[in-house]
Amino acid sequence: MPGAQCQLGVKNLPCNLLMDTVTAPPTGQLTMTKDTIGKCNSSNKAAVAWVDEMAKHCKPDRVYWCDGSKAERKALTAEAVEKGVLIKLNQKKLPGCYYHRSNPNDVARVEQATFICTEGQEEAGPTNNWMAPKEMYQKLRGYAAGSMRGRTMYVVPYLMGPPGSPLAKVGIELTDSIYVVLSMGTMTRMGEVAFEELGSSDDFNRGLHCMLDVNPERRFIAHFPKDNAIISVGSNYGGNVLLGKKCLALRIGSYLGRQEGWFAEHMLVLGVESPSGEKTYMAAAFPSACGKTNFAMMMPPAHLKGWKIWTIGDDIAWMRPGPDGRLYAINPEAGYFGVVPGTNSKSNPAAVEMISRDTIFTNVALTPDLDVWWEGKDGPPPKECLDWKGNRWTPDSEEKAAHPNSRFTAPMTNNPLLAPEVNDPTGVPIRGIIFGGRRSNTMPLVYQAFNWVHGVYIGATMGSEMTAAAVGGAGQVRRDPMAMLPFCGYHMGDYFRHWINMHKTIKHPPRIFHVNWFRKNGQGEFLWPGFGENMRVLKWIVDRCHARTDAEETALGWVPGPTSLDLTGMNDFSPERLERVQAIYEDEWRREILMQDELFMKLHARLPKELIFQRELLLARL
Ligand code: GTP
Ligand code: SPV
Ligand code: MN
């Protein structure tokens, strides 16, 4: 048990980090100054009635309505520290930063426990777990009943998207986790702003989160798209419980997007500013832990002076055709829940700056002077520290000090590269869409689709090695269409159809590309340096979108000519190496197309014929 291991001169360290997940701590008196804090702050009848109904069902000792104010955050943070849910980090080094450990059985998204509860199973499709809504409601309401006794039910109103945006959506999450409340406060526009946006409408997402005893046996993340409702029980980890993120913004969002003619995608959004000041906006879908945050916050190499990246979002894009025929994107989120390991001043200097204040660190290592550490951080490892489970760790330890899926929760306003357009209700016009996976072989560094349907085929057949962001299977290649396999709230075949159909509603469709930063040589080393150097690839992509650089035709699509990818200043990167990282091997591609068949066969009943034709055309070209 972690409770026994506080040593190492970390004085008075609260060691009951898991207590919040297993006991019913006293509700405690909040050190509030105003007695209105925590009281019902909405006159929305539907919201009040629903909260009341859920409170009667879950039976918390008290109901706390969040207003999203700074004073509230301060008080709730103090309460979380008092309860041992958070540890206050060294405020000299890390002002406003706190530390959290999750239950070791609860460190990532759990796809086996994630359900799409549509009326019929066919609607959810073969790539989703399904249960009939009635049955799931009954099961989860059973778990929720009385589960908040001795606890507080927090009412978390939140807005996904800039206020006033036609794409923005309101949700209310009811949770018994103070960690979720504080995280939602960073990840969304939380509090009164949501009720203002909602007005008297009853159109809001109803999300219920009960930690229960954080038991994997009773862990369910259930979506009811028709009711715009979510119930999550038995977890307290990121994507399972911050219901605005994967549950609303992607699973429910994709379902609504199909009905209403827009896209909810697992995509970063960025602006590329050229030396002349021209801004080009791009969206990119890479699977979980495959480089979105890093790409969205990229610092171009010295050689590409005058080029600059602006971040709109690092994980989710909502995109809709605008009146001018272009595709407009907003970032529905207000913060980043990003992978910590590997973050350093070389790989991601902007993130290093961003997470040096106002950040919650989850499942990293804790040093004796209340600083944080992780594999791949700047500088040498600490001589000793507590690992993510609270056990003593030294550089000789065999286990990792930080969990591979340890995360930071940081407000976007701390990102030095934040684009001011992030708050623009109309969003930004997308010129290009980039798909990419984590592939040690087969996939070249970059190629461009011949046209929209070909681009949809490239996205639909995406493969990627699985990562620590979800429980199980790490390292295995699996199909992850558009990086949406775990996040599409309906039949994947219908989702492809939606992508193909949307072309008709977008007069100026974005150009589509595929990238792979992760190709390796025979020694298992990355062939491409990645991170900031990806700017060279992005520059070619931007120039292609503006039709001002050349390309060569291959069986896969258009690729940069031998001189159109600028490699100046990359000392150890020869043109021969570029050839290897771009190589298309016929035998690898025959295997790849066979592997794609597995997904196509699963979806065959609803697979658009266009994609089968694209497969045939590719085979003919190879
Ligand atoms: P989610 O938040 O899970 O959706 O992930 P993400 O797509 O935002 O991934 P992120 O940018 O956090 O990167 C995940 C891991 O990939 C980190 O360990 C990075 O260090 C590593 N990574 C990111 N970009 C590159 C790259 O260009 N090359 C290499 N080799 N690794 C990279
Ligand atoms: C992902 O897994 O794609 C994430 C992290 O962005 S989580 O929010 O936990 O799903
Ligand atoms: Mn993600």
Q: Which two tokens stand for residue 277?
A: 């000041």
Per-residue model confidence (pLDDT) at position 27: 41
pLDDT in tens, 430-444: 999 999 999 999 999
Pocket test for ligand 1, best of 187, 246, 268, 290 (most atoms within 8 A of CB): 290
d(CA 480, CA 168): 27
Looking from the CA of residue 341, the nearest atom of ligand 1 is 18
CB 422 within 8 Å of CB 331: yes
Which residue minimizes the CA distance to atom 2 of ligand 1? 338
pLDDT in tens, 92-104: 999 999 999 999 9
Is 0.85 topped by the overall pTM? Answer: yes
Measured at the CA of 552, the angle between CA 551 and CA 554, to 5 degrees, comes to: 135
Q: What DSSP letter does each residue of 280-332 carry, written as one string?
A: EEEEEE--TTSSHHHHHT----TTSTT-EEEEEESS-EEEEE-TTSPEEEE--
d(CA 150, CA 60): 6
Which residue minimizes the CA distance to atom 11 of ligand 1? 291
d(CA 67, CA 65): 7
Is the CB of 315 within 6 Å of ligand 1? yes
Looking from the CA of residue 242, the nearest atom of ligand 2 is 8
* Ligand closest to the CA atom of residue 245: 2
pLDDT in tens, 222-258: 999 999 999 999 999 999 999 999 999 999 999 999 9
Residue 263 CB-density burial (10 A; 0-12 exposed, 13-18 middle, 19+ buried): buried
pLDDT at 316 over 50: yes
pLDDT in tens, 129-145: 999 999 999 999 999 99
Per-residue model confidence (pLDDT) at position 200: 97
Q: What is the mean pLDDT of the chain?
A: 94
Cα torsion angle, 65, 69, 73, 79, sign: negative
Q: What b-and-e string marks burial along 106-142, b requiring 16 or more CB atoms within 10 Å of the CB?
A: bbbbbbebbbbbbeebebbbbbbbbbebeebbebbee
Task: Give the active site residue among 58, 117, 247, 290.
Answer: 290
Per-residue model confidence (pLDDT) at position 607: 98
Per-residue model confidence (pLDDT) at position 125: 98
Question: What residues line ligand 2, using a CB cutoff of 6 Å?
Answer: 109, 238-239, 245-246, 288, 315, 337, 469
Per-residue model confidence (pLDDT) at position 97: 99
pLDDT band at 571 (very low <50, low <70, confident <90, very high): confident
- Distance between Cα 469 and ligand 2 center (Å): 6
81: Cβ–Cβ under 8 A, 6 or more apart, which residues? 14, 87, 88, 98
pLDDT band at 473 (very low <50, low <70, confident <90, very high): confident
pLDDT in tens, 482-518: 999 999 999 999 999 999 999 999 999 999 999 999 9
pLDDT at 409 over 60: yes
pLDDT at 286 over 60: yes
Looking from the CA of residue 483, the nearest atom of ligand 2 is 3
Strand order in the sheet with 372-373: 372-373, 365-366, 385-386, 392-393
Q: Which residues pair with 207 in a beta bridge?
A: 173, 230
pLDDT at 3 over 70: no
Q: Which two tokens stand for residue 332?
A: 């529905």
DSSP-derived secondary structure letter, 382:
P
Percent over 90 (pLDDT), the chain: 92
Query: Is 290 labeled as catalytic in the residue annotation?
Result: yes
d(CA 481, CA 261): 19
The candidate with the shortest Cα–Cα distance to 479, out of 494, 456, 462, 457, is 462
Per-residue model confidence (pLDDT) at position 174: 98
- Count the alpha carbons within 13 Å of 173 in the hemisphere toward its beta carbon: 36
Section 219-223 average pLDDT = 98
d(CA 431, CA 279): 10
Section 581-610 average pLDDT = 96
Looking from the CA of residue 348, the nearest atom of ligand 1 is 20
Is the CB of 517 within 6 Å of ligand 1? yes
Measured at the CA of 549, the angle between CA 570 and CA 269, to 5 degrees, comes to: 75
Per-residue model confidence (pLDDT) at position 36: 75
Distance from chain centroid for Cα 462: 18
